[in-house]
Amino acid sequence: MKQPGTILILDDEEDILFSLKMLLKPVFARVFAAQNPEHLPRLVQQYEPDVLLLDLNFHKGDSSGKIGLEWLQKIKELRPQMQVVIITAHGEVEMVVHAMKLGATDFIEKPWRNEKLLATVKSALNLALLKQEVQHLSAENKQILAQLDGKGGEFLGESPVMKEVFKTIEKVAKTDANVLVTGENGTGKELTARELHRQSTRGGKIFVNVDLGAISESLFESELFGYVKGAFTDAKEDHIGKFEAANGGTLFLDEIGNLSLNLQAKLLAVLQSRKVVRVGSTKEIPVDFRLICATNSDLKTMVAEKTFRQDLLYRINTIEISMPPLRERVGDIRLIAKHYLDIYSKKYRKSGLGFEKETQEKLEKYPWHGNVRELRHAIERAVIMTESAKLQPGDFLLQSDGNKAVFSPDNMNLEEIERSLVQKAIEIHQGNISKAAESLGLTRAALYRRLEKFGL
């Protein structure tokens, strides 16, 4: 079996090129050759070689190595992860030393011994592949660290509807079936995705969370597909996209209903081929991830309105899990409230806090349009503001009927008023972030920040 990897040979002598190709082609998966160094940038971009065999002299009578050294320096800037093996005449020690300082990995003397040459190229290729693996692990580690703060809390619930959700998760988790999680904002869609991942055969691998509502159309490809150095002005180095980072693990695409038709087509192409091409590259990279998507939009209605692709919907919802709103699982409110009370009591060093009976009744009667996220925020605020050993009904500034913002001389807190307006906009537009943001005069990203801030 041939060793995976791409080798590019650059030498002005046809006999040398022919000999090296005959020697290397039976051993390595892809071997290319060229004579003109001026074509090197194009060839490197086209073939993305792991190892370059580079001659230093390209004109008869020239033994200075100047041309080869200049190209070595240029090409290492263009593709720094590529390993360069110098082809040199016997005795050119000073030139070899200079090449090594400029970034060459090793050298081969003419005439060469086949066994030594193959060993040198294999060693360079192994180094290239090792560096690529290190780069991938580094990117994966960044993904993990970036999400440590966003893991959320425990997945809680004892109500009949939540027991059904847990039962479905248990059935589906061990498969690699694509899952679509639906439900209102704050119902725990991300927690559902994380629980599916935890119980799956990929549970020990990475979980990559992508908020599609917060990624602009112009950044979609570079964020999800990645890019190579020089692909655009700010591309200072190669960047692994979310698809690659999730390789072997789970990819969670939140708010998939916010994707434009153009981006839906690009996503569908990846899901069908399971291959990605980084921006600025032509090399296809195979990816293997378990896909979980989430939305608060009615995708079937969007399909009927031709704003969401039917073939993409079929692809992402092999199994659909619908998360119930908190008002439909009132029996879980005390359990969840106690959970967050324990968390925030420790966080703000107010040990021994509890709930008055009237407070628990008030929490159970409130409709919680922001669901668990709103409840969590309300408890955190109450813990901060309370001056008693038990949380009182008055510690919770809840809207009187769940819909109208309360504007009165007794409630002129700007933060509470802003929160009420944001919540009402979300309700009026039935969870459509784009329309709600437009009605509030905000960008979508700014609205997402406020939703997070207010726990909605």
Please give the tally of structural domains in the chain. 3
Alpha helices in 29-113 (DSSP H): 40-47, 66-78, 93-101
> Does residue 298 sit in the same domain as residue 358?
no
Is residue 308 assigned to a domain? yes
Asked whether residue 140 is assigned to any structural domain, the reply reads no
Instruction: Classify residue 217: in a domain, yes or no.
Output: yes
Residue 223: which of 240, 205, 248, 247 has the closest Cα?
Answer: 240
The span from the first CA to the last CA of the chain, in angstroms, equals: 56
Tokens of 161: 């509807």
In a domain, residue 143? The reply is no
Residue 253 to residue 57: CA distance in whole angstroms: 52
Give the CATH number for residue 377: 1.10.8.60
CA distance 327 to 186: 12
Quick one: pLDDT at residue 343? 92
Q: Give a yes or no: residue 297 inside a domain.
A: yes
Domain span including residue 60: 3-133
**DSSP single-letter state for residue 62:** -
Structure tokens at 58: 């390209």
**The one-letter amino acid at 127:** L
pTM, 2 dp = 0.62
Q: Residues 34, 160: one domain?
A: no
pLDDT value for 151: 46
User: Helices 14-24 & 114-147, crossing angle to 10 degrees?
Assistant: 70
333 and 225 share a domain? no
My answer on whether 123 and 212 are in the same domain is: no
CA atoms within 13 A on the CB side of 106: 19
Q: What is the pLDDT of residue 209?
A: 92
> Would you give per-residue pLDDT tens digits along the chain (456 residues)?
788 889 999 988 888 899 999 999 999 989 999 988 888 888 988 888 999 999 888 777 666 778 888 888 888 888 888 899 988 876 677 788 888 888 888 888 888 889 999 999 999 998 888 877 776 666 666 555 445 434 445 678 899 999 999 999 999 999 999 999 999 988 999 999 999 999 999 988 889 999 998 888 888 999 999 998 888 888 888 888 999 999 999 999 999 999 999 999 999 999 999 999 999 988 899 999 999 999 999 999 999 999 999 999 999 999 999 999 999 999 999 999 999 999 999 999 988 899 999 999 999 999 998 899 889 989 998 998 888 899 998 888 776 544 444 444 444 466 777 777 787 778 777 777 887 887 777 777 778 878 877 777
Tokens 């590259």, located at residue: 281
CATH code of the domain covering residue 171:
3.40.50.300
Give the pLDDT score at 352. 85
- Examine residue 325 and say whether the peptide bond preceding it is cis (omega within 30 degrees of 0): no
- Domain annotation covers residue 421: yes
Residue 236: what pLDDT? 80
CA dist 225 to 255, 274, 276, 309, Å?
Answer: 18, 12, 6, 20
85 shares its domain with 170: no
Would you state the pLDDT for residue 407?
A: 45
